[in-house]
Structure 1
Amino acid sequence: MFAFIHFLAFLIVTGYAVYLFAHLVYSRIVFIKLGRKANLKVDIKQRLQEFLANVFGHKKLLKDPKSGIMHLILFYGFIILQLGAIELIFKGFLKGFSYPIGAAHRYFQLSQEITAFLVLVAIGYAFYRRYIEKLPRLKRGFKAGLVVFFLSTLMLSIFFTLAFERLWLLAEVQQQANFVVYAPISSLLATLFSSVSVTTAAVLFYFFWWVHLLILLSFLVYVPQSKHAHILFAPINIAIRDTKPAGQLTSIDFSDETLETYGVGQIVDFRQNQLIDLYACVECGRCTNSCPASHTGKTLSPMELIVKMRDHLTEKGAAITSRSPWLPEFAFQQTTATQLAKAKNARQTFNVNLIGDVITEEELWACTTCRNCEDQCPVANEHVEMVIDLRRHLVLTEGQMPSEAARYFQNVERQSNPWGISRRERINWREQREDIEVSTVQEIDQFDYLFWVGSMGSFDQRSQKIAQSLAKIMNAAGVTFAILGNEERNSGDTARRMGNEFLFQQLAEENIAILQKYNVTKIITIDPHIYNTFKHEYPEFGLKAEVYHHTELILQWLKEGRLKLTKTVEEQVAYHDSCYLGRYNEIYDIPREILRAVPGVHLLELERNRDDSMCCGAGGGMMWLEERQGTRVNEERTEQALAVNPTAIGSNCPYCLTMLSDGTKAKDVEQQVKTLDIAEIVEKAL
């Protein structure tokens, strides 16, 4: 009779849990499918490589070695323990059951106990980091503690179930419990409880067997409706993420007459692959921890941005589909009262504005588009394009933007530069130095490279010196080059990231027409933002040319012997990696090789460097917007550079140079610490 009731209870409990799990997972899939369909590239090889590297290799997670190793143990631990869990369930119905693998079973049992022990240690370390060390990026509270309880209880129940099974079986044959090498933990526990009777051992075996089963099933049901949904959605997110270059945004088709709005104004306006990001988020806080806006006291937190949109999608999805997102409801009464109430009131839910009620405009305009959040994210979430999609809605559909942004767009539209200076003055920078030769495309028949000077190099007095230094370097290397002069327009890269997609596309088409007019095949620029846009975004609109950042060609000319660095430049250079050359295009070593080649230069590395380099604060249009919250990003980055005691701060970007120069002025050290572009440092050594 006991066996029948036991088996029936198992079927009822397990069946109910599996039903709840399936309902919850399917509900979230239905919510995701409310979004627009994604037109993803079919590039199986790249996807497979990234999947293996980040899911099974934990490449991103191991950027933080401590938590990475901890998660690696948990990940592989649970894969290994699934085999043991199946055997343990069978033990509840077949007394003394074990896999029929002969003598190999002892080694299987040893692997299970060692793995369970390591998982328990990893859980203990997770508890330590969250509640004792209290890492700022990690949330603390009931939900986080609940997972620690689930997993630690699950591991302990394995040991106690095996221990009392051992005592039960040994007592029946009247053998004394003793320590066994291939069952080190369960046999040790059995030895400690060796005085219990056969009946007590049997009762305790079934007690811990049920504890193990109930915890396992409870965790199964809890996973889809918690941050641990990443167990299900993160591998999918990594496998089907958009594999276009990091620096390429998805375009709006303005010829599509069915579009009534532009950008994302409602959660369901996101593409389905973007909505998977929301459920893939593990709330680890790495994105927020690395975000320059969050780091300097702005309201933007990339993690909270994702979490708020995830909760909003769940509420709106429940309202649209009438599917309950929280089960069983009696266990989520508070959640049901506070969150599900909106879902049941469709009118109230539909009246919630994504921008305004869920996300504030201040959050969106604080983003520098540096991609540090994405680079740190272990589940391949793409925060930046979501922010830009939301900005597009504000700018193109609502016509709402900061006054500085409106002025920027107006100046670019009228004079094709951010300051509104007459476009006829774009060529004036070359007249300021008599020792450089710079020809326009109208003045020269043939040239190797078209030097795209950009608005910063053409109009900004400080950045003009970078353009002049590069011209001097190209003259010294015997390189034939030309500029468009007053025919050059703004590249539109900043306008695009500020949300004005229409202006960007207009400028792109005009610029490409000019480049085709003069049969340009190779372009060099001093601006990583222009470099990124020309290399990754302009080809979609018809550009067919090789694009180079000036550091790439300077190093090439040095290796070819076309440049001779004979003068000593005695500088301790703290090198700052710009976001758009570094994280966007993975160029880290080239600038460093150049600096090492300059006689007298000693390269200093900042604490945050390479792919973890902190943004200067100019990206995403922030160069032209006021920072009204917290401290200035450029001052924070300047402090980081000054911490290594440099005589100069080196960069590869006119925006970075401007921001860092302002930073040294704010810190009152501009007389002691210079700010120099790599081209300027190389020119000093010619």
Structure 2
Amino acid sequence: MTWKIVNLVLFLCAAGCCVFWFWKAVSHRAAYVMLGRTEQPARLDRMRLREWAAQLFGHKKLLKDRRSGLMHLVIFYGFIVLQIGAIDIVWNGLFGVRLPLPAYEWFVLSQEIAVTAVLLAILYAGFRRYVEKLRRLKRDWKPSIVLFFIGGLMISVLFVSAFERIWKEEPASALAPIGSMLAAAMDGFIAVPAGEALYYAAWWAHLLLLLAFLVYIPQSKHFHLLTAPVNLALARSDPPGKLRTLDLEDEEAETFGVGAIEQFSRKQLLDLYACVECGRCTDVCPAAGTGKLLSPMHLIVKLRDHLTEKGAAITSKTPWVPTFAFGANGTAVSAFRPEPKESRVEWIGEGITDIGPTMKRQKESWLRTIADRSDEQDNGGEQHRLAMETELIGHVMTAEELWACTTCRNCEDQCPVGNEHVDKIIDMRRYLVLTEGNVPGDGQRALQNIERQGNPWGISRSDRDKWLDDLDGVWVPTVREQPDFDYLFFVGSMGSYDNRTRKVTIATVKLMAHAGVRFAILGAEEKNSGDTPRRMGNELLFRQCCDENIALFRKYKVRKIVTACPHTYNTFKHEYPEFGLKAEVVHHTELLALLLQERKLVPSYPVREVATYHDSCYLGRYNGGYDAPRAILRAIPELSLEEMERSGANAMCCGAGGGLMWMEEKAGKRINVARVEQALATAPTVIASACPYCLTMMEDGTKLLEAEERVAAKDVSELLAAAVFGPH
């Protein structure tokens, strides 16, 4: 009895200390998140609740990588099943009685099955990391701590069961096969009294592993066990990728955009602690995959580490507890600090033989992280000063990283915990542009040209409707000439000025006219949509474009808008309504697919081509527009459609989004070349697209790869026009 009292007291002390340390670590990080600005919380309605459940319990995004997803699913549900078993083990060790569960023997069998499944999943996790060596997974010992924790917990469960059988001389049972086999194997070597001692040794090993894991969780990437469900529940209900609006009329604002970590919203800061560092985002990032400095995962990790250090400085609450395990003055010992000297450039640059002097300088900048600077100091006061003086852009993030993003959102689409990378990048770009006036030269020229002439080239506004001269036999009225129209055809800058994209404009116009669609154009009155300025961070110029366009739409009583540019389509559809636009917006592929369905367009001429379709990010991931372009291509006689390995929601960006259409790539491999290589793997004769930016990038890629003689790049409307009107 005395031993049981001592055991209970020791248990209460150990559990009480660890629960306190756990609460302290969690509450301190919660205080750091609360430093962010407030925003309207998301409403968890029935539809969002279903999506939350699908992500959390159905592993919807995790299963995009089926093998990793199944592995995680086994561990996830194995741990849920084993929680009751953990309570039973603790209760039995403290009071000598088991939980009064019905069919207890079958409960024991369920525990052994769960333990075995989790152990196999852990072994497979180690295999994926160290034998298969997946590029996206880190391979030093720190990311593997959790494997030892979970593996140790599972093994201790089995030994607790085996030693209890020896101690209590229980017979072998088919409902406890592993415990029975272990007990039988040790029975001849261990006496009953020793069995009792070994039982409590295994019991304490299991308990201490469990409590140590509890304390470790909030101080590591495994904090996602707590934060990911909350982060998914608080996911924005706005359309994907919709940017928040800046209050440009705030007279008290000293800066615009995000130039300090605490200027992010609380939800954005929660993202940082939800990250599991799985690398899925970086694995699909077109910038990372072609040797640029940007890595979405490392962006989140660097921001998280900076938040932890600056949050500790602002709140005076140490992030590392207990101090004897994590170091004095709130500085974690090296075993638990983030890896400060990992060279991400070496990882993402695989297959790139020459990174060049620019990337070498960027690499040197990367290596000097926040953790490095803090480790150089021995006293807390100096660390406090450094954390407060560390600049978000310059010390934590570099401008090169921020300008490498194509805003394709493939990172967000792959993230299993609901992190939003692009809005953080745009917020920091806004700070660079609006507060510091720091824009790459070629990007600055595009913005100035849009401001002066309404297009990125700076061509005269009066030339916007000169493409009409290329039309033959089709009358295209302006809104002034035909005020009674159904659709406003918003041609866009590319469709108006770019010689190649003008052919897409003409094909679309001819198809709409042939189908009897009543449409009109703005002509020389048309202005830039503002997508490029907004994605480049110039919210002021975007607002100017937006206000002028909405005024035009109201003036001419526009009810429906059709455009061939997914960037314009997305901006009009999801961002203009906040400023007063009340019109239905459709992409030209949606309208053409509808006209085909209604038999107003009949493709009767064969188009003997092998086509592969390149998905536009702003039509696909931003708006779910995957079916309409493919429906058009499949309706064309004798045209064969071959899908690329990366297609649909996981399609790779062409490299033109986020304003990069107007900026030159200076590091690594060109993104459009990498994408065209993927297209050429399907042996096509045509690379089809539904975006003027994509069309340009695909055509340039075929030229750079010297494949333009055998592979053409065409918009789906051009292919449909060939099937409807015949060859010209």
Q: TM-score range by the shorter chain?
A: over 0.9
SS of the residue 1:583 aligns to: coil
Q: Does residue 1:303 correspond to 2:292, yes or no?
A: no
SS of the residue 2:332 aligns to: helix
By how many angstroms is 1:93 displaced? 1.7
* Pairing partner for 1:504 from 520, 542, 546: 542
SS of the residue 1:573 aligns to: strand
Partner of 1:70: 71
Partner of 2:105: 106
Aligned counterparts of 2:176 and 2:42: Cα–Cα separation in 1: 50
Question: Structure 1, residues 124-149: CA drift from partner, whole Å, max 9, x if none?
Answer: 11010011111110011121221111
* Pairing partner for 1:680 from 693, 718, 723: 718
SS of the residue 1:619 aligns to: coil
Residues 435 and 472, structure 1, Cα contact 8 Å, conserved in 2: no
Aligned counterparts of 1:26 and 1:41: Cα–Cα separation in 2: 22
Residues 411 and 417, structure 1, Cα contact 8 Å, conserved in 2: yes
Residues 34 and 268, structure 1, Cα contact 8 Å, conserved in 2: yes
Partner of 1:518: 556
Partner of 2:411: 373
Residues 241 and 409, structure 2, Cα contact 8 Å, conserved in 1: no
By how many angstroms is 1:248 displaced? 1.4
SS of the residue 1:547 aligns to: strand
Residues 92 and 99, structure 2, Cα contact 8 Å, conserved in 1: no
By how many angstroms is 1:344 displaced? 4.3
Q: Does residue 1:199 correspond to 2:193, yes or no?
A: yes
Aligned counterparts of 1:266 and 1:515: Cα–Cα separation in 2: 38
By how many angstroms is 1:434 displaced? 1.6
The 5 A counterparts of 1:165-564 are: 165-170=164-169, 177-178=171-172, 180-195=173-188, 196-333=190-327, 335=332, 339=374, 344-345=381-382, 346-564=384-602
Question: Structure 1, residues 41-69: CA drift from partner, whole Å, max 9, x if none?
Answer: 42422331221010011100000010101
The 5 A counterparts of 1:593-672 are: 593-672=631-710
Question: Structure 1, residues 294-345: CA drift from partner, whole Å, max 9, x if none?
Answer: 0000000000000000000000000011111111222223735854858643
Question: Structure 1, residues 472-525: CA drift from partner, whole Å, max 9, x if none?
Answer: 101110111100001100000111000001110111011000011000000000
SS of the residue 1:574 aligns to: strand
Q: Kindly tell me: are residues 19 and 411 of structure 1, through their superposed partners in 2, closer, same or farther at Cα, counting changes over 3 Å?
A: same
Letter in 1 for 2:104: H
By how many angstroms is 1:249 displaced? 0.7
Question: Structure 1, residues 186-211: CA drift from partner, whole Å, max 9, x if none?
Answer: 11111111122111100110010000
By how many angstroms is 1:550 displaced? 0.4
Deviates more, 1:336-345 or 1:25-34: 336-345
Aligned residues: 678
SS of the residue 2:585 aligns to: strand
By how many angstroms is 1:589 displaced? 1.3
Letter in 1 for 2:548: E
By how many angstroms is 1:94 displaced? 2.1
Letter in 1 for 2:253: L
Residues 437 and 471, structure 1, Cα contact 8 Å, conserved in 2: no
Q: Percent identity?
A: 54
Aligned counterparts of 2:248 and 2:311: Cα–Cα separation in 1: 28
Partner of 2:156: 157
Letter in 1 for 2:183: A
Aligned counterparts of 2:673 and 2:258: Cα–Cα separation in 1: 33
Letter in 2 for 1:406: Q
Partner of 1:582: 620
Letter in 1 for 2:677: E
Question: Structure 1, residues 542-582: CA drift from partner, whole Å, max 9, x if none?
Answer: 00000000000101111111111111111100110110000
Residues 247 and 585, structure 1, Cα contact 8 Å, conserved in 2: no
Residues 47 and 240, structure 1, Cα contact 8 Å, conserved in 2: no
Aligned counterparts of 1:518 and 1:628: Cα–Cα separation in 2: 44
By how many angstroms is 1:531 displaced? 0.4
Partner of 2:85: 84
Deviates more, 1:363-372 or 1:560-569: 560-569
Question: Structure 1, residues 195-233: CA drift from partner, whole Å, max 9, x if none?
Answer: 221111001100100000000000000000000000010
Provide the TM-score with structure 2 as the length reference.
0.92
- Structure 1: state its 5+ residue gaps: none
By how many angstroms is 1:457 displaced? 0.1
Partner of 1:565: 603
Letter in 2 for 1:484: L
Residues 573 and 650, structure 1, Cα contact 8 Å, conserved in 2: yes
Question: Structure 1, residues 419-455: CA drift from partner, whole Å, max 9, x if none?
Answer: 0000000000011122322111111131111000000
Letter in 2 for 1:541: F
Provide the aligned C-alpha RMSD in A. 1.2
Q: Kindly tell me: are residues 232 and 518 of structure 1, through their superposed partners in 2, closer, same or farther at Cα, counting changes over 3 Å?
A: same
Aligned counterparts of 1:582 and 1:317: Cα–Cα separation in 2: 38
Q: Does residue 1:40 correspond to 2:41, yes or no?
A: yes
SS of the residue 2:205 aligns to: helix
Provide the TM-score with structure 1 as the length reference.
0.97
SS of the residue 2:297 aligns to: helix
Letter in 1 for 2:303: M
